[in-house]
Structure 1
Amino acid sequence: MKKAVLFDLDGTLIDTAPDFIRIVQNMCREAEIPVLDADLIRARVSEGARAMVKLVYPSHLDEATFLKHRDRFLSEYQDNIAVDTQLFDGMDELLQDLEQRSIPWGIVTNKPRYLSEILLDALDLKTRCAVLVCPDDVHRTKPDPEPMYLAASQLDLDAEDIIYVGDHPRDIDAGRSADMLTILAGYGYLPPDAKDDLDAWNADYIVHTVEQLHAEIEALISP
């Protein structure tokens, strides 16, 4: 019986893509370039601000100009972090089920802490989340297992007693390296170069809806 559940943030626990899409498409309009397709942006959300800027400005930029665009993106995102963002459909029911069973849930993400905390606060999740591990908290981020071990330590659990759910190969690699049970969230922001062979990710389970995720987790935490 597993004793806790950890989630990746963007594309696994929370559907943050709509806000990324709106901001990037507005940047395209301001740069007077063709507006990028929403699905293209969605597939890159998990890669963060640098990837968003590179979508709009794919040709080489000098570092100062690139950082200017990145900082502008981050500022716009911080100011409008939960306009259209929300938990994936069915996710709140899953979280409530865990809470009713006294199973702690938390987040291990590569999203900076200041943005993660603002987002969780905006969605009234901050006090419900038992642990939040961000890049600021470790020396090595996912796919290294260090964040996973830190989360386990903060939960006062062995890593092998924890389920980790993610939508990127680095999530599954990090979870597997820490001996956690891994679940691939096939409904998430799957990278284009890896989404055609999900079996190759070597996750313990693959789900394609939050309802399937709920059922798998329920079976894994039930005595």
Structure 2
Amino acid sequence: MAGCNPDIAFDAFIFDLDGTLLDTADDLGGALNRVLADANIAPVDKSIYRPAASNGANALLEVGFGDKWPDVEQLALRQQLLDYYAEDIAIHSKCFNGIEQLLASLEQNSIKWGIMTNKPGFLTEPLVQAIPSLANAMAVVSGDTLAVAKPSPEPLIHTANMLDVDPTRCLYIGDAERDIQAAKAANMYSATALWGYIPSVDTALSWGADFNWQSPTDGFIHI
């Protein structure tokens, strides 16, 4: 749908979670550095773990362990990281600047909104519950809600069905290439969250989203 009218209004906004609605990098990085400490490996700086924060536990562990990653017990370390993260899931996590205002405006204008993330449900649910600004989400779909996750379009179509909105009248906002791929496959409009954990602006622009938002406030034009 690239090249569409920038002033189009939507019946529903659907958001990715990490790197789009919430800045969760420091809690994820904290869990990673606890795992690294247990393995007698030096902690990694925020500049290292932040770009991997949207890509799951394995991506975080890979940047932490570096060349050692192929030779370690990956499944055990992944579970260790998830356990540590679950213990302190919302210590530092918070909405990105502008998100609370965008969600409030959607609600004031009776535009439905929901969340579709690849994060597993046992982590998604307590995290969403810990952030008051997300309490009014009308649908929350996790990476294991269905048998498939993004970049499959099925979770986004499922979210649109929960919202009782035609997918073609939805806008999906995310900060990873799989988000844009999933939206395209679901016949949804897409917006790249350039404030998120993108590898680079140039790379993000190459994904071909319908919109590229510098800030959540860019969404006001579609309300």
Q: Give the TM-score normalised by structure 2.
A: 0.89
Corresponding residue for 2:3? Answer: none
Q: Write the mapping of 1:173-192 to structure 2, written as runs, cut at 5 A.
A: 173-191=181-199
2:180 to 158, 172, 178: 172
**Corresponding residue for 1:23?**
31
SS of the residue corresponding to residue 105 of structure 1 reads strand
SS at match of 1:137: coil
CA–CA distance in structure 1, aligned partners of residues 74 and 149 of structure 2:
23
1-side partners of 2:101 and 2:197: how far apart?
A: 21
Q: Map residues 59-208 of structure 1 onto 2, 5 A cutoff.
A: 59=68, 60-61=70-71, 65-125=73-133, 127-191=135-199, 195-208=201-214
Residue 219 of structure 1 corresponds to 221
Alpha-carbon deviation of 1:126? 5.4
Match of 1:219, as an amino acid? I
Q: What is the CA-CA distance between 1:135 and the residue it aligns to? A: 1.9
How far apart in 2 are the matches of 1:185 and 1:70?
27
Which 4+ residue blocks in structure 1 deviate beyond 4 angstroms?
none
Structure 2 CA distance for aligned equivalents of residues 33 and 85 of structure 1: 25
Please, which runs of 5 or more residues in structure 1 have no aligned partner? none
Please report how far the alpha carbon of residue 125 of structure 1 lies from its aligned counterpart in structure 2 after TM superposition: 4.6
State how far apart, in whole Å, the 2-side matches of 1:198 and 1:118 are. 29
C-alpha deviation, 1:130, in angstroms = 0.6
Instruction: State the match for 2:5 in structure 1.
Output: none
What is the aligned partner in structure 2 of residue 48 from structure 1?
56
Distance 2:194 2:125 in 1: 25
Q: Deviations over 1:168-208 (max 9, x none)?
A: 0100111111121111111100136xx43333111011112
Q: Which amino acid aligns with 2:13?
A: V
CA distance in 2, matches of 1:73, 1:198: 28
The total of aligned residue pairs comes to: 213
Structure 2: how far apart are the matches of 1:202 and 1:32? 42
1:184 aligned counterpart, secondary structure: strand
Unpaired runs of at least 5, structure 2: 1-8
Among the aligned pairs, what percent are the same residue? 35
2-side partners of 1:175 and 1:31: how far apart?
39
Q: Secondary structure at the match of 1:5?
A: strand
What is the one-letter code of the residue matched to 2:137? C
Amino acid at match of 2:210: D
On the 8 A contact 2:177/2:204 being kept in 1, the answer is: no
State the TM-score, normalizing by the size of structure 1: 0.89
Q: What is residue 35 of structure 1 aligned with on the other side?
A: 43
Q: Would you say the 8 A contact 2:113–2:137 is kept in 1?
A: yes
CA distance change for structure 1 residues 100 and 54 in 2, over 3 Å: closer, same or farther?
A: same
Distance in 1 (alpha carbons) for counterparts of 2:38 and 2:193:
34
Corresponding letter in the other structure for 1:184: T
Structure 1 residue 42: Cα displacement: 0.6
Residues 117 and 126, structure 1, Cα contact 8 Å, conserved in 2 = no
CA distance in 1, matches of 2:134, 2:214: 26
Give RMSD over aligned pairs. 1.7
CA contact (8 A) 1:27 1:56 kept: no
SS of aligned partner of 1:164: strand
| Counterpart residue identity of residue 188, structure 2 | M
